[in-house]
Structure 1
Amino acid sequence: MSANNDSIQKTLLVAILLCLVCSVIVAGAAVSLKPIQQANKQLDKNYNILLAAGLVEEGAKPSADQIEQLFADKVTAKVVNLSEGRYATAAELDEIKASGLIPQGKGLAAYNQRKASKDPAFSSKLPGDEDIASIKRQAKFAAVYTVENNGVVEKMVLPVHGYGLWSTLYGFLALEGDLETVVGLGFYSHAETPGLGGEVDNPSWKALWKGKELYNSKGELAIKVVKGKAAADDENSVDGLSGATLTSKGVSNLVQFWVGENGFGKFLATAKGGA
């Protein structure tokens, strides 16, 4: 009997030691690979900013070095105070950096708005009647990305997100320098149904956004996704996704939220005034 007990104890000891060794290996791999994963996420984010702004062609993805160089040459990242509709002050940027929302040694393009929206110190809960995009909490600061020529903004890319049918869609909305005309809209993260809501990734549907106007002739916010086909002369409406009514509504809501008063609306009004 004692021999059997010894055998069981040795088996358990070996199993425990094996688990510990495997845990150390997995943990070590996770730590060592984290910087690479973060770099790849930032690279993909930068690529999608370039894509929304029309600086790279749909389907022709450049190399990592080309993306980094093009982004560095063409795009300037800035942080916006959403509630006050202005660029963040130096003191605010120092506070953001101290919080870790911008990793040490990284530029403003690395600002983590998604993480900020979960931090009570850097976000606020949205009242239900204002939360048309169903994001629950809104970060107090957001990054914007400008394409400039001799100090004049030719294009501006805004980060947008909101709930569709099954998931939160994260993407970028690019505007012309007038801050009223859409250049492009694209999503880099979502879990909508392939072939239905997933058609937000279809280049043909994305192309429908180009040239659409945020505001109608009265200056009212009017950009939206409609059910079915938009009228040919409708400058504010985009065709709905066939068989994906809730995803279409979600995209319409999130775009309206982020260019509206509770999103970038105040900032866009200030920026159009030349500030």
Structure 2
Amino acid sequence: MSSKKESTGRTLFVALAVSLVSSVFVAGAAVSLKPVQIENRLLDKQRSILAIAGLGDPNLSGREVKELFASRVSAKVVDLESGEYSTEFNPAIFDPLKAARDPKLSDALPGNEDIALIKRRERYTTVYMVEQDGKLESLILPVRGYGLWSTLHGFMAVKADLNTVVGFGFYQHAETPGLGGEVDNPNWKALWPGKTLFDDAGKPIIQIVKGGVDPASPSADHQVDALAGATLTSNGVDRLLQFWLGEQGFGPYLAKLRNQGV
């Protein structure tokens, strides 16, 4: 009886020791890898911005992405309520998604205003400008909203006229492959360049159209085909664009830029 107890005790002790050592190892690995993970996420975002802006090659190395981004793209933090640039935060490290979770830096959205289904909207966010010889070539706006299964995170790039689409795409989502996941399809993304976002009054008119766009329609220049078999994801994309291009999103900022003749 005594030997059985000792054997059981040793087994439990060994199991506990192995668990403790494993936990320490896993925790240490997580801590040591965190800077690498942060760096990789930043690199992925920069690569996505360059691609949506029509810059660079998808096969650029990490070093080439960093160099191209640093030479062509600049970032600024925008106060979404006033439309003014803010110097309160460093755009290189400011995290709008983290700000959206902070009650001091964000606002809860009433149901009738939360058409993108994001629950909270940050008061400040980061925009990106592609410049050449000191002149604005395109403006890149971060957008997000809920599709069928996930929040889609992406960027909309517009020309210096603040109306014509350069590119549009998502860098993070969990939509169904082959259905809502077709937001990643190059053929669908190729439908966006050249489309117009606003009417003459600055109101968003871009629209996702189920059944396909009629090329002969006078509305064709601001319509894009819906994703086949993915109605809810298509509706989510439509809603998130209406939100972020409207008064709750970048509307005040874009209005100021137009008034300044940018």
Q: 1:218 to 1:72 in 2, by over 3 A?
A: closer
Instruction: Give the Cα separation in 2 of the matches to 1:176 and 1:11.
Output: 68
Q: 1:61 aligns to what?
A: 59
Q: How large is the Cα RMSD of the aligned pairs?
A: 1.3
Shift of 1:152: 2.5
5+ residue gaps, structure 2: none
Deviations 1:9-54 (A, max 9, x none): 1111111111110000000000000000000000000000001111
Instruction: Give the Cα separation in 2 of the matches to 1:218 and 1:9.
Output: 78
SS in 2 for 1:153: strand
Structure 2 counterparts to residues 42-191 of structure 1, below 5 A = 42-57=42-57, 60-88=58-86, 90=87, 92-93=88-89, 108-191=91-174
Q: 1:246 aligns to what?
A: 232
Instruction: Give the Cα separation in 2 of the matches to 1:239 and 1:222.
Output: 14
Shift of 1:4: 1.4
Instruction: Give the Cα separation in 2 of the matches to 1:109 and 1:244.
Output: 36
**Does structure 1 retain, via aligned residues, the 8 Å contact 2:202–2:255?**
no
Q: 1:98 aligns to what?
A: none
- Which residue type is aligned with residue 66 of structure 1? E
**Aligned pair partner of 2:188 in 197, 202, 205:** 205
Is residue 268 of structure 1 aligned with residue 251 of structure 2?
no
Deviations 1:181-209 (A, max 9, x none): 11110101111111111110011110111
Q: 1:97 aligns to what?
A: none
SS in 2 for 1:179: coil
Instruction: Give the Cα separation in 2 of the matches to 1:204 and 1:51.
Output: 14
**Aligned pair partner of 1:255 in 227, 241, 248:** 241
SS in 1 for 2:81: coil
Size of the alignment, in residue pairs? 258
Deviations 1:137-188 (A, max 9, x none): 1111110000123432110100000000111000000000111111110101
**Does structure 2 retain, via aligned residues, the 8 Å contact 1:164–1:192?**
yes
- Which residue type is aligned with residue 43 of structure 2? L
SS in 2 for 1:229: coil
**Does structure 1 retain, via aligned residues, the 8 Å contact 2:78–2:126?**
yes
Query: In percent, how many aligned pairs have the same letter?
Result: 53
**Does structure 1 retain, via aligned residues, the 8 Å contact 2:192–2:224?**
yes
Instruction: Give the Cα separation in 2 of the matches to 1:142 and 1:272.
Output: 19
- Which residue type is aligned with residue 134 of structure 1? L
Instruction: Give the Cα separation in 1 of the matches to 2:251 and 2:202.
Output: 12
